[in-house]
Amino acid sequence: MEKSRKVCVDIVEQILTQNAYSNIVLRNVLNKSNFEDKDKSLITEIVYGTIKYKYTIDTILSSYLKNGIKGIDTYVLNILRTAIYQIRFLDKVPNFAAVNEAVEIAKKYKSVGASKLVNGVLRNYLRNLDKVYYNKGSIVEALCFNYSFDKWLVKMFIDQYGMQRSEEILKGLNEKPAVTVRVNNLKGTYDEAFKTLCEYGYNIEEGYVCPEAIIINKGKSIENNPLFREGKITVQDESAMLVAPSIGVKEGFQVLDLCSAPGGKTTHISELMNDNGMVRAFDIHENKLSLVKNNAKRLGIKNITYNKMDAAIFNKDLEDIADAVLIDVPCSGLGIIRKKPEIKYTKEIKGVKDIIKIQRDIMSNASRYVKVGGVLLYSTCTINKKENEDNIEWFLKEFPQFSIEKLYYGNMKNFIYNDNGSVTILPNKYMDGFFISRLRRIR
């Protein structure tokens, strides 16, 4: 097992020390490996778990390291982090195995001295499994430790949502995300896709809220499945699946998607239009447009054009031409932490504030492309109200030629129907945290 545990440390090192994206580096490493499926599953569990609970793990480690975690070699620190995760959160890994493997990795890849440090810290932790590492009198500290979030983020959620709902959010952001796929109506029916996935041995169920969604509970990588390769299904979170239907597109529409990559929402729009009319995909990064093209090609979609463009800079050629404009704007990404747990630690309050100006610049510019009677659809994958409801309130004051239209998706426990007509989706097992608002140009 040393090799798989060593791979876990290597991946965590890349993510936490070199700022690599967890989903990308994990996929790349596992795709190139010859590990069995059970080992790949364990590696995935340890990597995501260690990143997810980094705050908690570092709090624990700080109490057993004389100079705290800052004075320790990062690789040794990540050996300790992965070991603490296994001991504290994984019942299927015996404590002695986690300790012994960690000590051996430190000895083989660092030094004898490092192995002694790792051994001492871990055995000291095992002797104090009932120790409390936070101030019991502080609810904020308890939430930070139990759910592993920095204080600024916990305080922000409490300020915006109150104590009870904030704890639900923290719990939801720590859920292991379900894999969901969207059925492509251009290449077959929902029932056909559902039946075929069952025949391939997948444990599946109908979507949580979206009629196009199928939840994959168990089965091999969906991207290697013939249905995926043939473009009959595509992977997409159910929160993101709500965006395209919210626009209300029709065949023959001209739709602009100003922040289109990687193309999940763009292609969904085309599917809803039966590949009729025109969908114009834009992105500020030209290389990312290839992702949209590849998705569209696999799905058999032909009504999309692709152009590099900054969504915040006015393009005279697009003025007043669109039946609908989608702006899935850059955001803090706080709603997708369950899929990219490193977001917990890569974001900071200043960065969150800075991005609001970019969002408002895009909103202002996009409004000029919508024809009278057309729709501007605003969405984010964050649950920070300042990027969501506050931006909509600002926009309606600055652009009185637009009015908001209420959205409704059903009476789901994790849906908040805001007073201004927008919808906030709280994270849970099935859905990312998300925000959607539909704005109509009335004059």
Q: Which residues contact 192 (CB under 8 A, 6 or more apart)?
A: 232
Name the amino acid, one letter, at 106: A
Residue 292 in tokens: 């949209």
Fold classified for 239-441: Rossmann fold (3.40.50)
| pLDDT > 70? residue 1 | no
Our measurement of the distance from residue 143's CA atom to the centroid of its chain's CA atoms, rounded to an integer in Å, reads 21
Give the three-state DSSP class for 421.
coil
What is 2-126's CATH number?
1.10.940.10
DSSP-derived letter for residue 419 is: T
pTM of the model: 0.94
| pLDDT > 90? residue 159 | yes
Section 398-422 average pLDDT:
97
Name the amino acid, one letter, at 155: K
| pLDDT > 70? residue 2 | no
- Residue 117: closest CA among 82, 70, 79: 79
What is 179-235's CATH number?
3.30.70.1170
Q: How many CB atoms lie within 10 A of CB 332?
A: 24
- pLDDT confidence bin for 34, thresholds 50/70/90: confident
User: Residues spanned by CATH 3.40.50.150 within the chain?
Assistant: 239-441
Q: Which residues contact 416 (CB under 8 A, 6 or more apart)?
A: 423, 424, 425, 426
Residue 348: predicted pLDDT: 81
User: Residues spanned by CATH 1.10.940.10 within the chain?
Assistant: 2-126
pLDDT digits (tens, 9 = 90+) for 262-287: 999 999 999 999 999 999 999 999 99
Residue 80 in tokens: 């300790």
Residue 123: predicted pLDDT: 96
Q: Can you name the residues that pair with 151 across neighbouring β-strands?
A: none
pLDDT digits (tens, 9 = 90+) for 370-380: 999 999 999 99
Residue 155 in tokens: 């305080």
Distance of alpha carbon 114 from alpha carbon 109, whole angstroms: 9
Of 144, 210, 331, 381, the active-site residue reads: 381
Residue 406: predicted pLDDT: 97
Share of the chain above pLDDT 70, in %: 100
User: Residues spanned by CATH 3.30.70.1170 within the chain?
Assistant: 179-235
- pLDDT confidence bin for 137, thresholds 50/70/90: very high
381 noted as active-site residue: yes
Q: How many CB atoms lie within 10 A of CB 315?
A: 16
Average pLDDT score, the chain: 95
Residues of each annotated binding site for S-adenosyl-L-methionine: 259-265, 283, 310, 328
| pLDDT > 90? residue 317 | yes
